[in-house]
Protein backbone atom coordinates (compact mmCIF):
# COMPACT_ATOMS: atom_id res chain seq x y z
CA UNK A 1 0.00 0.00 0.00
CA UNK A 2 1.43 3.40 -1.00
CA UNK A 3 0.58 6.30 1.27
CA UNK A 4 2.20 9.70 1.97
CA UNK A 5 2.47 8.79 5.66
CA UNK A 6 5.64 7.38 7.17
CA UNK A 7 3.95 4.65 9.18
CA UNK A 8 0.67 3.07 10.16
CA UNK A 9 0.36 5.06 13.40
CA UNK A 10 0.79 8.38 11.62
CA UNK A 11 -1.85 7.40 9.04
CA UNK A 12 -4.40 6.53 11.71
CA UNK A 13 -3.64 9.70 13.68
CA UNK A 14 -4.06 11.95 10.67
CA UNK A 15 -7.29 10.28 9.61
CA UNK A 16 -8.79 10.40 13.10
CA UNK A 17 -7.97 14.08 13.51
CA UNK A 18 -9.45 14.90 10.12
CA UNK A 19 -12.78 13.20 10.67
CA UNK A 20 -15.30 15.72 11.96
CA UNK A 21 -17.97 14.12 14.08
CA UNK A 22 -15.45 12.64 16.50
CA UNK A 23 -14.48 13.87 19.92
CA UNK A 24 -11.48 16.12 20.33
CA UNK A 25 -8.08 14.79 21.34
CA UNK A 26 -8.64 16.05 24.89
CA UNK A 27 -11.99 14.28 25.06
CA UNK A 28 -10.38 11.10 23.78
CA UNK A 29 -7.68 11.23 26.44
CA UNK A 30 -10.33 11.75 29.12
CA UNK A 31 -12.30 8.78 27.79
CA UNK A 32 -9.19 6.60 28.02
CA UNK A 33 -8.69 7.67 31.61
CA UNK A 34 -12.29 7.05 32.53
CA UNK A 35 -12.81 3.78 30.68
CA UNK A 36 -15.03 1.47 32.75
CA UNK A 37 -15.73 4.40 35.11
CA UNK A 38 -19.29 4.69 33.87
CA UNK A 39 -21.76 6.45 36.09
CA UNK A 40 -23.93 4.04 38.03
CA UNK A 41 -27.56 4.95 38.25
CA UNK A 42 -30.35 3.51 40.32
CA UNK A 43 -33.18 4.31 37.93
CA UNK A 44 -34.00 2.10 34.94
CA UNK A 45 -34.47 4.31 31.88
CA UNK A 46 -36.14 2.48 29.03
CA UNK A 47 -37.34 3.79 25.66
CA UNK A 48 -41.10 4.28 25.40
CA UNK A 49 -43.03 4.70 22.17
CA UNK A 50 -43.79 8.35 21.47
CA UNK A 51 -41.72 9.58 24.42
CA UNK A 52 -39.44 12.00 22.58
CA UNK A 53 -37.73 15.05 24.07
CA UNK A 54 -34.90 17.32 22.96
CA UNK A 55 -32.89 19.92 24.85
CA UNK A 56 -31.09 22.67 22.94
CA UNK A 57 -28.37 24.57 24.80
CA UNK A 58 -27.67 27.92 23.15
CA UNK A 59 -24.48 29.42 24.57
CA UNK A 60 -23.91 33.16 24.10
CA UNK A 61 -20.13 33.40 24.43
CA UNK A 62 -18.66 36.60 25.83
CA UNK A 63 -21.28 37.47 28.44
CA UNK A 64 -24.64 38.77 27.26
CA UNK A 65 -25.64 42.17 28.65
CA UNK A 66 -29.04 41.14 29.95
CA UNK A 67 -29.39 44.50 31.68
CA UNK A 68 -30.55 45.55 28.22
CA UNK A 69 -32.67 42.43 27.74
CA UNK A 70 -35.13 43.04 30.60
CA UNK A 71 -35.44 46.78 31.23
CA UNK A 72 -37.54 48.68 33.78
CA UNK A 73 -40.32 50.46 31.94
CA UNK A 74 -42.06 52.56 34.64
CA UNK A 75 -40.86 56.15 34.74
CA UNK A 76 -39.15 56.15 38.14
CA UNK A 77 -37.19 52.95 37.63
CA UNK A 78 -36.46 53.73 33.98
CA UNK A 79 -34.96 57.09 34.91
CA UNK A 80 -32.66 55.41 37.44
CA UNK A 81 -31.71 52.82 34.79
CA UNK A 82 -30.98 55.53 32.20
CA UNK A 83 -28.88 57.54 34.65
CA UNK A 84 -26.67 54.52 35.36
CA UNK A 85 -26.46 53.20 31.82
CA UNK A 86 -26.01 56.59 30.13
CA UNK A 87 -24.95 55.88 26.52
CA UNK A 88 -26.10 52.24 26.86
CA UNK A 89 -29.67 53.13 27.81
CA UNK A 90 -32.35 51.90 25.41
CA UNK A 91 -34.91 54.68 24.76
CA UNK A 92 -37.98 54.22 26.95
CA UNK A 93 -40.31 54.75 24.00
CA UNK A 94 -38.79 51.80 22.10
CA UNK A 95 -39.16 49.18 24.84
CA UNK A 96 -41.35 46.19 24.01
CA UNK A 97 -43.83 45.87 26.89
CA UNK A 98 -44.36 42.54 28.65
CA UNK A 99 -46.96 41.57 31.24
CA UNK A 100 -45.72 38.68 33.40
CA UNK A 101 -48.46 36.33 34.58
CA UNK A 102 -47.42 36.21 38.23
CA UNK A 103 -44.11 38.03 38.78
CA UNK A 104 -44.57 41.32 40.59
CA UNK A 105 -42.15 43.47 42.55
CA UNK A 106 -43.70 46.90 41.98
CA UNK A 107 -41.85 47.50 38.71
CA UNK A 108 -42.97 47.09 35.11
CA UNK A 109 -40.60 45.80 32.47
CA UNK A 110 -39.98 45.88 28.75
CA UNK A 111 -37.74 43.94 26.38
CA UNK A 112 -35.05 45.15 24.02
CA UNK A 113 -36.60 46.45 20.75
CA UNK A 114 -34.67 43.85 18.72
CA UNK A 115 -36.99 41.13 20.06
CA UNK A 116 -39.93 42.22 17.92
CA UNK A 117 -41.68 39.96 15.37
CA UNK A 118 -39.12 38.71 12.86
CA UNK A 119 -39.27 38.96 9.04
CA UNK A 120 -39.95 35.64 7.33
CA UNK A 121 -39.89 36.28 3.64
CA UNK A 122 -43.13 38.03 2.70
CA UNK A 123 -44.57 37.58 6.19
CA UNK A 124 -43.38 37.64 9.80
CA UNK A 125 -42.84 35.13 12.57
CA UNK A 126 -43.56 35.81 16.24
CA UNK A 127 -40.45 37.26 17.86
CA UNK A 128 -39.46 36.73 21.46
CA UNK A 129 -41.84 39.41 22.76
CA UNK A 130 -44.78 37.70 21.05
CA UNK A 131 -43.66 34.24 22.12
CA UNK A 132 -43.50 35.52 25.70
CA UNK A 133 -47.06 36.85 25.38
CA UNK A 134 -48.21 33.51 23.90
CA UNK A 135 -46.86 31.65 26.93
CA UNK A 136 -44.11 29.84 24.98
CA UNK A 137 -41.19 31.76 26.45
CA UNK A 138 -40.09 32.36 30.04
CA UNK A 139 -37.38 34.59 31.45
CA UNK A 140 -35.16 33.51 34.34
CA UNK A 141 -33.65 36.42 36.21
CA UNK A 142 -30.28 36.84 37.91
CA UNK A 143 -28.93 33.31 37.52
CA UNK A 144 -25.22 32.54 37.75
CA UNK A 145 -22.47 30.21 38.85
CA UNK A 146 -22.52 29.57 42.60
CA UNK A 147 -20.76 27.16 44.93
CA UNK A 148 -23.44 27.91 47.52
CA UNK A 149 -25.85 30.80 48.17
CA UNK A 150 -24.04 34.12 48.71
CA UNK A 151 -25.15 37.35 50.35
CA UNK A 152 -23.70 40.79 49.72
CA UNK A 153 -22.36 40.88 53.28
CA UNK A 154 -20.56 37.56 52.79
CA UNK A 155 -19.11 38.72 49.49
CA UNK A 156 -17.83 42.03 50.88
CA UNK A 157 -16.39 40.39 54.01
CA UNK A 158 -14.64 37.73 51.90
CA UNK A 159 -16.34 34.94 53.87
CA UNK A 160 -18.28 33.38 50.99
CA UNK A 161 -17.31 30.28 49.04
CA UNK A 162 -17.09 31.67 45.52
CA UNK A 163 -16.59 30.10 42.09
CA UNK A 164 -12.89 30.29 41.20
CA UNK A 165 -11.79 32.92 38.64
CA UNK A 166 -15.19 34.54 38.96
CA UNK A 167 -15.00 37.06 36.12
CA UNK A 168 -12.90 34.99 33.68
CA UNK A 169 -14.50 34.08 30.35
CA UNK A 170 -12.95 30.62 30.06
CA UNK A 171 -13.51 29.59 33.66
CA UNK A 172 -17.08 30.85 33.89
CA UNK A 173 -18.21 29.35 30.58
CA UNK A 174 -16.80 25.98 31.68
CA UNK A 175 -18.44 26.28 35.10
CA UNK A 176 -21.79 27.04 33.48
CA UNK A 177 -21.43 23.88 31.42
CA UNK A 178 -20.25 21.60 34.25
CA UNK A 179 -22.47 23.03 37.04
CA UNK A 180 -19.74 22.09 39.55
CA UNK A 181 -17.54 25.19 39.86
CA UNK A 182 -15.72 23.82 42.92
CA UNK A 183 -14.47 20.71 41.11
CA UNK A 184 -11.99 20.24 38.23
CA UNK A 185 -13.85 20.19 34.90
CA UNK A 186 -14.14 16.54 33.85
CA UNK A 187 -17.68 16.16 32.54
CA UNK A 188 -20.54 18.50 31.69
CA UNK A 189 -24.04 18.27 33.10
CA UNK A 190 -25.38 17.46 29.64
CA UNK A 191 -22.83 14.65 29.33
CA UNK A 192 -23.68 13.24 32.75
CA UNK A 193 -27.35 13.34 31.83
CA UNK A 194 -26.62 11.49 28.57
CA UNK A 195 -24.71 8.83 30.51
CA UNK A 196 -27.80 8.22 32.65
CA UNK A 197 -30.34 8.26 29.83
CA UNK A 198 -28.36 6.51 27.10
CA UNK A 199 -30.56 3.40 27.32
CA UNK A 200 -33.58 5.47 26.25
CA UNK A 201 -32.15 5.59 22.73
CA UNK A 202 -31.93 1.80 22.55
CA UNK A 203 -29.53 0.73 19.83
CA UNK A 204 -29.41 4.10 18.07
CA UNK A 205 -26.13 4.54 16.26
CA UNK A 206 -25.90 8.32 16.54
CA UNK A 207 -24.90 9.90 19.85
CA UNK A 208 -27.53 11.49 22.08
CA UNK A 209 -25.18 14.49 22.41
CA UNK A 210 -24.84 16.46 19.18
CA UNK A 211 -22.84 19.66 18.78
CA UNK A 212 -23.24 22.21 16.00
CA UNK A 213 -20.49 24.38 17.48
CA UNK A 214 -17.44 22.17 17.93
CA UNK A 215 -16.16 20.58 21.10
CA UNK A 216 -17.81 21.81 24.28
CA UNK A 217 -17.65 20.93 27.96
CA UNK A 218 -21.43 20.72 28.38
CA UNK A 219 -21.72 17.43 26.46
CA UNK A 220 -18.60 15.67 27.79
CA UNK A 221 -19.62 12.42 29.50
CA UNK A 222 -17.98 9.23 30.66
CA UNK A 223 -19.88 6.96 28.28
CA UNK A 224 -21.52 9.16 25.65
CA UNK A 225 -19.38 10.88 23.02
CA UNK A 226 -20.53 14.20 21.63
CA UNK A 227 -21.03 13.99 17.88
CA UNK A 228 -19.87 17.11 16.04
CA UNK A 229 -21.58 18.30 12.90
CA UNK A 230 -21.34 21.32 10.64
CA UNK A 231 -24.36 23.63 10.48
CA UNK A 232 -24.43 22.73 6.80
CA UNK A 233 -24.41 18.97 7.14
CA UNK A 234 -22.19 16.03 7.86
CA UNK A 235 -18.50 16.65 7.15
CA UNK A 236 -16.97 13.48 5.82
CA UNK A 237 -13.33 12.48 5.64
CA UNK A 238 -11.81 14.03 2.52
CA UNK A 239 -10.77 11.53 -0.11
CA UNK A 240 -12.50 8.58 1.54
CA UNK A 241 -13.10 6.61 -1.65
CA UNK A 242 -11.50 4.02 -3.89
CA UNK A 243 -8.10 2.70 -2.83
CA UNK A 244 -7.86 5.19 0.05
CA UNK A 245 -11.13 3.91 1.50
CA UNK A 246 -9.98 0.30 1.17
CA UNK A 247 -6.63 1.06 2.78
CA UNK A 248 -8.13 2.95 5.71
CA UNK A 249 -10.81 0.31 6.31
CA UNK A 250 -8.11 -2.37 6.38
CA UNK A 251 -6.01 -0.40 8.86
CA UNK A 252 -8.97 0.23 11.15
CA UNK A 253 -9.86 -3.46 11.20
CA UNK A 254 -6.34 -4.52 12.25
CA UNK A 255 -5.76 -5.40 15.94
CA UNK A 256 -4.09 -2.54 17.83
CA UNK A 257 -2.12 -3.42 20.94
CA UNK A 258 -1.60 0.21 21.94
CA UNK A 259 -4.67 1.45 23.88
CA UNK A 260 -4.43 4.97 22.50
CA UNK A 261 -4.14 3.70 18.93
CA UNK A 262 -7.03 1.29 19.42
CA UNK A 263 -9.25 4.08 20.71
CA UNK A 264 -8.42 6.26 17.73
CA UNK A 265 -9.34 3.37 15.49
CA UNK A 266 -12.74 3.02 17.17
CA UNK A 267 -13.42 6.75 16.93
CA UNK A 268 -12.51 6.84 13.26
CA UNK A 269 -14.71 3.83 12.45
CA UNK A 270 -17.62 5.30 14.38
CA UNK A 271 -17.21 8.67 12.65
CA UNK A 272 -17.15 7.13 9.17
CA UNK A 273 -20.17 4.94 9.85
CA UNK A 274 -22.13 7.80 11.41
CA UNK A 275 -21.24 10.07 8.52
CA UNK A 276 -22.67 7.62 5.99
CA UNK A 277 -25.84 7.07 8.00
CA UNK A 278 -26.49 10.75 8.69
CA UNK A 279 -25.73 11.87 5.15
CA UNK A 280 -28.33 9.57 3.66
CA UNK A 281 -30.87 10.41 6.39
CA UNK A 282 -30.51 14.19 6.19
CA UNK A 283 -30.64 14.17 2.39
CA UNK A 284 -34.22 12.95 2.72
CA UNK A 285 -35.27 15.79 5.08
CA UNK A 286 -36.85 18.91 3.58
CA UNK A 287 -37.96 21.58 6.05
CA UNK A 288 -40.75 23.91 5.02
CA UNK A 289 -40.07 26.52 7.71
CA UNK A 290 -38.46 29.82 6.76
CA UNK A 291 -34.97 30.38 8.21
CA UNK A 292 -33.14 33.70 7.68
CA UNK A 293 -30.01 33.83 5.54
CA UNK A 294 -26.72 35.38 6.63
CA UNK A 295 -27.49 34.26 10.18
CA UNK A 296 -25.00 31.73 11.52
CA UNK A 297 -27.12 30.90 14.56
CA UNK A 298 -30.10 30.24 12.31
CA UNK A 299 -27.93 27.90 10.24
CA UNK A 300 -27.09 25.90 13.37
CA UNK A 301 -30.70 25.77 14.54
CA UNK A 302 -31.91 24.75 11.08
CA UNK A 303 -29.59 21.73 11.17
CA UNK A 304 -30.84 20.92 14.67
CA UNK A 305 -34.40 21.03 13.31
CA UNK A 306 -33.36 18.58 10.60
CA UNK A 307 -31.85 16.25 13.18
CA UNK A 308 -35.09 16.40 15.18
CA UNK A 309 -37.06 15.65 12.01
CA UNK A 310 -34.84 12.57 11.53
CA UNK A 311 -35.36 11.29 15.09
CA UNK A 312 -37.57 8.33 14.16
CA UNK A 313 -35.29 7.19 11.33
CA UNK A 314 -32.33 7.42 13.69
CA UNK A 315 -34.21 5.65 16.50
CA UNK A 316 -33.76 8.43 19.06
CA UNK A 317 -36.06 9.14 22.02
CA UNK A 318 -33.73 11.75 23.51
CA UNK A 319 -31.49 14.32 21.84
CA UNK A 320 -29.24 16.94 23.43
CA UNK A 321 -27.92 19.70 21.19
CA UNK A 322 -25.31 22.39 21.69
CA UNK A 323 -25.04 25.50 19.54
CA UNK A 324 -23.39 28.83 20.16
CA UNK A 325 -22.55 32.29 18.92
CA UNK A 326 -19.83 34.68 20.05
CA UNK A 327 -19.44 38.43 20.08
CA UNK A 328 -21.21 39.14 23.37
CA UNK A 329 -18.08 40.51 25.08
CA UNK A 330 -19.22 44.09 24.47
CA UNK A 331 -16.57 46.22 26.16
CA UNK A 332 -16.85 48.95 23.54
CA UNK A 333 -19.42 50.50 21.20
CA UNK A 334 -22.01 48.18 22.65
CA UNK A 335 -25.31 49.77 21.71
CA UNK A 336 -25.26 48.93 17.99
CA UNK A 337 -23.30 45.68 18.33
CA UNK A 338 -25.64 44.30 20.98
CA UNK A 339 -28.73 45.28 18.98
CA UNK A 340 -27.35 43.34 16.01
CA UNK A 341 -26.61 40.31 18.18
CA UNK A 342 -30.13 40.31 19.58
CA UNK A 343 -31.56 40.72 16.08
CA UNK A 344 -29.68 37.57 15.07
CA UNK A 345 -30.85 35.76 18.21
CA UNK A 346 -34.47 36.82 17.80
CA UNK A 347 -34.77 35.88 14.12
CA UNK A 348 -33.04 32.52 14.62
CA UNK A 349 -35.15 31.51 17.63
CA UNK A 350 -38.36 32.67 15.95
CA UNK A 351 -37.69 30.39 12.98
CA UNK A 352 -36.54 27.48 15.12
CA UNK A 353 -39.61 27.57 17.34
CA UNK A 354 -41.82 27.70 14.24
CA UNK A 355 -39.94 24.68 12.84
CA UNK A 356 -40.78 22.69 15.97
CA UNK A 357 -44.42 23.69 15.49
CA UNK A 358 -44.32 22.61 11.84
CA UNK A 359 -42.74 19.29 12.85
CA UNK A 360 -45.39 18.72 15.52
CA UNK A 361 -42.87 18.63 18.39
CA UNK A 362 -43.08 22.13 19.90
CA UNK A 363 -43.97 20.69 23.31
CA UNK A 364 -41.12 18.14 23.03
CA UNK A 365 -38.27 20.58 22.37
CA UNK A 366 -36.94 23.09 24.90
CA UNK A 367 -34.31 25.68 24.00
CA UNK A 368 -32.45 27.51 26.74
CA UNK A 369 -29.74 30.14 26.76
CA UNK A 370 -26.57 30.30 28.83
CA UNK A 371 -23.70 32.78 28.85
CA UNK A 372 -20.38 33.30 30.64
CA UNK A 373 -21.83 35.91 32.99
CA UNK A 374 -23.81 39.14 32.95
CA UNK A 375 -22.23 42.55 32.53
CA UNK A 376 -21.74 45.61 34.69
CA UNK A 377 -24.68 47.95 35.07
CA UNK A 378 -22.74 51.22 34.63
CA UNK A 379 -21.24 52.15 31.27
CA UNK A 380 -17.44 51.98 30.95
CA UNK A 381 -15.09 54.42 29.23
CA UNK A 382 -15.48 52.65 25.89
CA UNK A 383 -19.27 53.00 25.68
CA UNK A 384 -19.59 49.38 26.64
CA UNK A 385 -19.89 47.25 29.77
CA UNK A 386 -17.49 44.99 31.62
CA UNK A 387 -17.62 41.48 33.06
CA UNK A 388 -20.43 40.94 35.55
CA UNK A 389 -21.94 37.95 37.33
CA UNK A 390 -25.67 37.28 37.60
CA UNK A 391 -27.55 37.29 34.30
CA UNK A 392 -30.99 36.76 32.77
CA UNK A 393 -31.72 33.74 30.55
CA UNK A 394 -34.37 32.70 28.00
CA UNK A 395 -36.28 29.40 28.00
CA UNK A 396 -38.39 28.65 24.90
CA UNK A 397 -40.69 25.78 23.97
CA UNK A 398 -44.20 24.41 24.06
CA UNK A 399 -43.59 22.74 27.44
CA UNK A 400 -42.43 26.01 29.04
CA UNK A 401 -44.71 27.78 31.52
CA UNK A 402 -44.18 31.02 29.71
CA UNK A 403 -45.39 34.60 29.99
CA UNK A 404 -43.60 34.94 33.29
CA UNK A 405 -40.34 35.94 34.95
CA UNK A 406 -38.79 33.40 37.31
CA UNK A 407 -36.20 34.06 39.97
CA UNK A 408 -35.87 37.64 41.18
CA UNK A 409 -34.94 40.72 39.16
CA UNK A 410 -32.17 42.45 41.13
CA UNK A 411 -32.39 45.93 42.56
CA UNK A 412 -30.71 47.90 39.79
CA UNK A 413 -28.64 50.06 42.13
CA UNK A 414 -24.85 50.27 42.20
CA UNK A 415 -23.79 49.36 45.76
CA UNK A 416 -27.37 48.29 46.37
CA UNK A 417 -28.51 45.08 48.09
CA UNK A 418 -27.79 42.82 45.08
CA UNK A 419 -24.50 44.37 43.96
CA UNK A 420 -20.96 43.19 44.64
CA UNK A 421 -19.79 46.83 44.56
CA UNK A 422 -19.40 47.77 40.87
CA UNK A 423 -22.80 47.00 39.36
CA UNK A 424 -22.24 43.24 39.22
CA UNK A 425 -25.35 41.41 40.42
CA UNK A 426 -24.88 38.62 42.97
CA UNK A 427 -26.91 35.68 41.58
CA UNK A 428 -30.05 34.80 43.50
CA UNK A 429 -30.58 31.63 41.41
CA UNK A 430 -27.85 29.09 40.77
CA UNK A 431 -26.93 27.38 37.52
CA UNK A 432 -27.69 24.12 39.41
CA UNK A 433 -31.32 25.11 40.03
CA UNK A 434 -31.78 26.31 36.45
CA UNK A 435 -30.23 23.21 34.92
CA UNK A 436 -31.92 20.74 37.29
CA UNK A 437 -35.34 22.12 36.32
CA UNK A 438 -34.53 21.35 32.68
CA UNK A 439 -33.09 17.93 33.56
CA UNK A 440 -36.23 16.96 35.48
CA UNK A 441 -38.38 17.76 32.44
CA UNK A 442 -35.96 15.81 30.25
CA UNK A 443 -36.49 12.69 32.36
CA UNK A 444 -33.79 12.54 35.05
CA UNK A 445 -35.28 11.04 38.21
CA UNK A 446 -35.08 12.65 41.64
CA UNK A 447 -32.94 9.70 42.74
CA UNK A 448 -30.34 10.39 40.06
CA UNK A 449 -30.42 14.18 40.21
CA UNK A 450 -27.39 14.31 42.60
CA UNK A 451 -25.37 12.34 40.03
CA UNK A 452 -25.93 15.08 37.48
CA UNK A 453 -25.82 18.00 39.94
CA UNK A 454 -23.63 17.12 42.96
CA UNK A 455 -24.12 20.56 44.54
CA UNK A 456 -27.88 20.82 44.06
CA UNK A 457 -28.74 20.10 47.72
CA UNK A 458 -27.00 23.33 48.72
CA UNK A 459 -29.75 25.37 47.10
CA UNK A 460 -33.40 25.89 48.00
CA UNK A 461 -35.15 25.33 44.66
CA UNK A 462 -34.29 22.12 42.77
CA UNK A 463 -37.31 22.83 40.55
CA UNK A 464 -37.90 26.47 39.64
CA UNK A 465 -41.30 25.65 38.15
CA UNK A 466 -40.86 27.04 34.61
CA UNK A 467 -41.52 23.66 32.92
CA UNK A 468 -44.89 21.93 32.57
Question: Of 213, 257, 248, 277, which is closest to residue 13 (Cα–Cα)?
Answer: 248
pLDDT of residue 42: 56
The DSSP-derived string for 196-245 is HHGGGGTT-SS-SEEESSS--STT--SSPPPEE-BTTB--PPTT-SHHHH
C-beta separation of 196 from 452 below 8 A: yes
Task: List the domains of the chain with CATH numbers.
Answer: 52-239+291-458 (3.40.720)
Q: What's the pLDDT score for residue 132?
A: 99
Q: In the chain, which residues have pLDDT < 70? A: 1-42
* Per-residue model confidence (pLDDT) at position 33: 34
d(CA 283, CA 303): 12
Q: What are the residues whose beta carbons fall under 8 Å from the beta carbon of 419, sequence distance 6 or more?
A: 152, 377, 410, 411, 413, 425, 426
What is the pLDDT at residue 237?
A: 82
pLDDT for position 180: 98
Q: How do residues 103-119 score in pLDDT, each as one tens digit?
A: 999 999 999 999 999 99
Handedness of CA 465, 357, 314, 60 (dihedral sign): negative
Angstrom distance (rounded) from CA 48 to CA 35: 29
The predicted-structure confidence for 311-344, as pLDDT tens digits, reads as follows 999 999 999 999 999 999 999 999 999 999 999 9
Amino acid sequence: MNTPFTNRRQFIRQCACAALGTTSLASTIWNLRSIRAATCCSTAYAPMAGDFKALVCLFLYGGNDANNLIIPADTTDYNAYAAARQQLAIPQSSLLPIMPATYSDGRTFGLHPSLVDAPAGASTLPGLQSLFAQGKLALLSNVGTLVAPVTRAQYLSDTAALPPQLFSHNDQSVQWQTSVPDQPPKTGWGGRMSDLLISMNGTAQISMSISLAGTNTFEVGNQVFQYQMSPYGVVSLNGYAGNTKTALDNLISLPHQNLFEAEFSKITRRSLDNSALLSSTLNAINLTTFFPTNNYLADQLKMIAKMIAARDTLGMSRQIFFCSVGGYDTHGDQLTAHANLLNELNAALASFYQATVDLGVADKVTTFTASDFGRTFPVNNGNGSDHGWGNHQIILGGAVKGRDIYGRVPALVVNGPDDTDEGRWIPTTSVDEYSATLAKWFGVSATDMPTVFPNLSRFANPDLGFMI
